[in-house]
Amino acid sequence: MNGLAAQHMRTLFHIEWKLFNRIRANYFFVVFVPLMILVAMRSVQEQLDLDRYGLNPGPLMVATSAGILLIFSLYSSVTGLYVARREELVLKRLRTGEVSDPVILAGGASMYVAITVAQIAVVAAVLSVMFDAAPRQPLSALAGLLTGVALMTAMAAATAALCRSVESVMVATLPAVFVLPMVSGVYIPREVLPDVLGDVLLYAPLSSTVDLVRSGWTAELGAAGALGRCALAAGWTVLFAWIAVRRFRWEPRV
């Protein structure tokens, strides 16, 4: 990224941060709601016989929290952001200047990316202390975080392309919000599912990110396994980015 693009990114970040702070309710929806869901999922996972499957609750909860926060704090928020800025003609005006399309989208999402990364880092640190589970493979966890951020941002842009208005964002994001955590090992670990189903769900969009984050604490993935998960996540990211490039609208639909 050249200096001009970096400057544009910083400018867009500061603008979105100021707009975010104008509405205090944003802190509730982006910060407290995902954490409340995380607490609820902890009670659900306590009902599972994790010892029977050789699962450590600490790393499992870290991966669960990462998946929940990526979906609710990043994906849902950025989808709504893209649609709102399009309807306000902000995206159209930005395109008339020297800011490139990728920088416009990345810069707009950067504020929510920062919030999500900070949330995941804090929650992971707290859970590590609670369960006395220090990271054993930090690079794997970092790879999971990076792939998850890229995937959810690309998926948000692709979803925003389907939305006609801000009001339709909630409906458009429902499949991902409800289905994605179920099939990607966020709510229920794939190990507790039948073997065939677990093997199939390995290829779900967010499964690779969940596996990489958990492996950051368990070191269950070797180099080949981690690279395979990164490649799978990259494939999904490229697919959603391609959909966004072809379908994304920069001004309101007539």
CA distance 225 to 235: 15
Q: Picking from 38-42, 112-116, 146-150, 177-181, which range would have the lowest pLDDT averaged per residue?
A: 38-42
Q: Please give the structure tokens belonging to residue 26.
A: 């944003």
CB count within 10 Å of CB 245 equals 14
Domain ranges of the chain: 3-247
Measured at the CA of 42, the angle between CA 41 and CA 44, to 5 degrees, comes to 60
Predicted confidence band of residue 233 (pLDDT cuts 50, 70, 90): very high
Range 111-125 average pLDDT: 89
* Range in 37-51, 99-113, 144-158, 195-209 the model is least confident about: 37-51
The whole-number pLDDT of residue 61 equals: 85
Q: What is the pLDDT of residues 196-217, one digit of tens each?
A: 888 888 898 999 999 999 999 9
Question: What tens digit of pLDDT does each residue of 12-52 get?
Answer: 888 888 888 887 777 777 777 777 777 776 676 666 666 66
pLDDT value at position 181? 87
State the pLDDT at residue 229.
Answer: 92
The pLDDT of residue 2: 65
Distance CA 71, CA 65 (A): 10
Position 220 scores a pLDDT of 85
Q: Which two tokens stand for residue 133?
A: 């589970």
182/53: higher pLDDT: 182
Average pLDDT, stretch 233-237?
Answer: 95
* Mean pLDDT value across the chain: 85
